[in-house]
Amino acid sequence: MLNDIMIGQYLDRNSIVHALDPRVKILLVILFVISLFISTTLIAYSLLGIFIIVSTLLAKIEFRYILRSLKPLIFIISFTLIIHLFLTKGGEVLWQWRFLSIEEEGLNLGLFMAVRLIFLITFTSLLTLTTSPLELTDGLERLLEPFRKVGVPAHELAMMMTIALRFIPTLLSEAEKILKAQKARGADFESGNLIQKAKSLIPLLVPLFVSAFRRADDLALAMEARCYRGGKGRTRMNELHLAAKDYVIGILVTVFLLTIVILS
């Protein structure tokens, strides 16, 4: 179970959203987030909401996956809502109990902020649901490439992400193994206060780090033996190519989002 967490939540479907070039998707998500933060009107938000729903349908992703992505953030969303409900004052008083009161402005702003967060999370998770980690890394590498001249190590970052994706499951299962081995030797990971608990992690972390460094050593050796010498002169098996559909969809969505921003 642990293993599947990091491989991302990517769902392999045969849809037009999946087939879109990752660079286009990343740029559109950024544009969406910007529009989301600029627009303030109800109309704009309704349109953005419809846009999310249509994209999800086109991507052939069931809504429960989208909802699932909200789960870890329910706390933050409700927190935002409650803070605004009680602390933002102005307008008609809707409800009062001793010193606590909810006023119109608070309700509006609270709901508005909550919806903004929900839109933000659902749309970005649509990106990771429809784009494999590998495509994402490739897309990011290519998008960052122009910034290489100002010192952004585009290839190195992408290579780090690739290796992290490859080794996180390995290290997780190793951590599990060490945990069991230490428990079998009587190590206690559960009882005690916070400090004691943190201390009890040492026999887990030390062997894990030692092994991670050994793996890194081995991997560097193996990569060198396979002629790796950085990003220079390296080609890819699956080069990214912008097709007609990427341009068409990219332009259409951009126009749509810009219209919303201008209208609001």
Partner 1 sequence: MESLIELKDVYYRYQEQEDEDWVLENIDLEITAGEFIAIVGHNGSGKSTLAKLLNGILLPTQGEVRVGGKVTTEQEDLWQLRQQLGIVFQNPDNQLVANIVEEDVAFGPENLGLPSAEIRKRVDEALRLVGMTDFARAAPHKLSGGQKQRVAIAGVIAMRPDCLVFDEPTAMLDPQGRQEVVETVEHLNRQEGLTVIYITHFMEEIINADRILVFADGKVELAATPKELFTKVDKLRDLALDIPQITELAYQLSESGLDIDTNIFTSTELVEELCLLK
Partners of 96 in beta bridges: 101
Verify binding: residue 215, partner 1, rule CB under 8 A.
yes
DSSP E strand stretches across the chain: 93-97, 100-103
Out of 223, 242, 248, 251, the only residue in the binding site for partner 1 (CB under 8 A) is 223
Picking from 23, 9, 22, the residue whose alpha carbon sits closest to that of residue 70 is: 9
Pick between residue 66 and residue 178 the one whose CB is nearest to partner 1.
178
Verify binding: residue 228, partner 1, rule CB under 8 A.
yes
Q: Minimal distance in Å, beta carbon 209 to partner 1?
A: 15
Which region among 13-21, 112-120, 149-157, 214-222 touches partner 1 (by CB under 8 A)? 214-222
Which region among 22-30, 55-63, 94-102, 236-244 touches partner 1 (by CB under 8 A)? 236-244
Q: Distance between CA atoms of 142 and 262, rounded to whole angstroms?
A: 30
Out of 106, 110, 133, 139, the only residue in the binding site for partner 1 (CB under 8 A) is 133
Pick between residue 156 and residue 188 the one whose CB is nearest to partner 1.
156
Out of 70, 113, 144, 165, the only residue in the binding site for partner 1 (CB under 8 A) is 165
Out of 160, 221, 248, 258, the only residue in the binding site for partner 1 (CB under 8 A) is 221
Per CB under 8 A, contacts with partner 1 among 44-83 are none
Q: Minimal distance in Å, beta carbon 154 to partner 1?
A: 16
Verify binding: residue 226, partner 1, rule CB under 8 A.
yes
Verify binding: residue 170, partner 1, rule CB under 8 A.
yes
User: What are the φ/ψ torsions at residue 7 (nearest 5 degrees)?
Assistant: -65, 5
Verify binding: residue 229, partner 1, rule CB under 8 A.
yes
Q: Minimal distance in Å, beta carbon 19 to partner 1?
A: 17
- Provide the total of helices (H) and of strands (E) in the chain, helices listed first: 12, 2
Out of 148, 166, 197, 245, the only residue in the binding site for partner 1 (CB under 8 A) is 166
SS3 content of the chain, % helix, strand, coil (to 5): 75, 5, 25
Verify binding: residue 247, partner 1, rule CB under 8 A.
no
| Neighbouring residues of 48: CB distance < 8 A, sequence distance ≥ 6 | 32, 35, 36, 39, 119, 260
**DSSP symbol at 241:** -
| Neighbouring residues of 201: CB distance < 8 A, sequence distance ≥ 6 | 189
258 in Cβ contact with 34 (< 8 Å): no
Verify binding: residue 173, partner 1, rule CB under 8 A.
yes
Distance of CA 138 to the CA centre of its chain: 16
Picking from 233, 239, 232, the residue whose alpha carbon sits closest to that of residue 138 is: 239
Residue 192 tokens, joined: 């005690």
Verify binding: residue 2, partner 1, rule CB under 8 A.
no
Verify binding: residue 177, partner 1, rule CB under 8 A.
no
Binding residues for partner 1, rule: CB under 8 A, are 3, 7, 133-134, 162-163, 165-166, 169-170, 173, 214-215, 218-219, 221-229, 233-239
